[in-house]
Amino acid sequence: MITLQDIREAQQRLQGVTRHTPLLPYADAVTTSVGDQVWLKPEQFQPIGSFKLRGAYNRIAAIPESVRQHGVIAYSSGNHAQGVAYSAKVLGIPATIIMPTNAPTVKIEATRSYGANVVLYDPMMQKREEVAQKLMHGQQWTLVPPFNDSYVIAGQGTIGIEIFDDLADVDAVLTPVGGGGLIGGTATALKSLKPSIRVIGVEPALAADAQASLRSGHIVEISAADTGRTIADGVRTLALGELTFDQMRQYVDDIITVSEEEIRSATRQLILQARLLTEPTGALAMAGYLYHREELGLPAGARLVLVLSGGNIDPTLLTDLLIASDDSVEIVR
């Protein structure tokens, strides 16, 4: 289990590399009707456009320099890939990144732009862990996991410290859930600082392994064919990691799910009304708040922070979302 001290040490490593993203006040018909005060934490303001830089850099920077110089390898659908590639460039070491063929082109190209060697694989035919093991044979590379690693979790947890530093009387924090690193680290920090804060995860109904895992008490795995159906490509993980699951069981209050229509609508609302370029995965917390406010277990007039995990949206998808701007999804008030 990682601790608040681990997260504070990560915060020190990240100085000068990541940004302390602000809390931006947000108001709309939902917040007004129930009297909530809502803030957005836009992690798309990070140098790579995603929170993933926090965990990736903390993991790589903690590797002894004599080992680190041989290089690193990682697997990711996009944002962790960019985090590792960017970190490797900053630290002057080589990086090999394994990415699925269905990853957004914009994320593949961005990863390559940081100088990483990108290897593509078919997620319907291969498991990324197996691809990594084959490539690592005979090499001295260090694997940088996307979420199931104590240093990665601690790096993501710096988000929780920043939220508390900026808004100590926050009642609840909503974050997207994929492999559990973001919510596991954030919840650990927040609950350690103030146990009464509710920390709630939001994931697509089409990839609801985290909710099933948390409620059943054991890790539930789903297929790549199932997770591949969601527009939220950043949370197409098949299962939580053992480390992230332990953190979540200890500190996370609940996981709620949202539909694809709700994700699309929330993404559009963030782009058009909040003026924040956000990818569908980054809009999960907003979707959870807009359409499932009654499931959060909060009284009217609550103070909430919604973590927007990233803004690396594919241009074609962005165009499609903006063209289809007439929402038919009913907002819950």
- The CATH number of the structural domain formed by 52-143 is 3.40.50.1100
Read off the pLDDT of residues 68-118 as tens digits, 9 standing for 90 and up. 999 999 998 889 999 999 999 999 999 999 999 988 888 999 999 999 999
Question: Per-residue pLDDT averaged across 246-270, rounded?
Answer: 97
Q: In this structure, are residues 144 and 235 in contact, taking their beta carbons and an 8 Å threshold?
A: no
The catalytic position among 76, 77, 265, 309 is 309
Domain 4-49+149-323 has CATH 3.40.50.300: no
Q: pLDDT higher for 244 or 33?
A: 244
CA–CA separation, 208 and 161 (whole Å): 27
The catalytic position among 41, 50, 52, 87 is 52
Return the biggest CA–CA distance within the chain: 61
CA–CA separation, 152 and 10 (whole Å): 9
CB atoms within 10 A of CB 233: 24
Res 333 pLDDT > 50 = no
Res 329 pLDDT > 70 = no
Read off the pLDDT of residues 159-182 as tens digits, 9 standing for 90 and up. 999 999 999 999 999 999 999 999
Q: In this structure, are residues 207 and 232 in contact, taking their beta carbons and an 8 Å threshold?
A: yes
76 catalytic per annotation: no
In the prediction, which pLDDT does 331 show? Answer: 56
pTM, two decimal places: 0.94
In the prediction, which pLDDT does 126 show? Answer: 87
- Which residues of the chain does CATH 3.40.50.1100 include? 4-49+149-323, 52-143
309 catalytic per annotation: yes
**Structure tokens that stand for 313 in this block:** 């949206």
Mean pLDDT score of the chain, rounded to an integer?
A: 94
Q: Comparing C-alpha atoms, which of 19, 21, 17, 82 is closest to residue 312?
A: 82
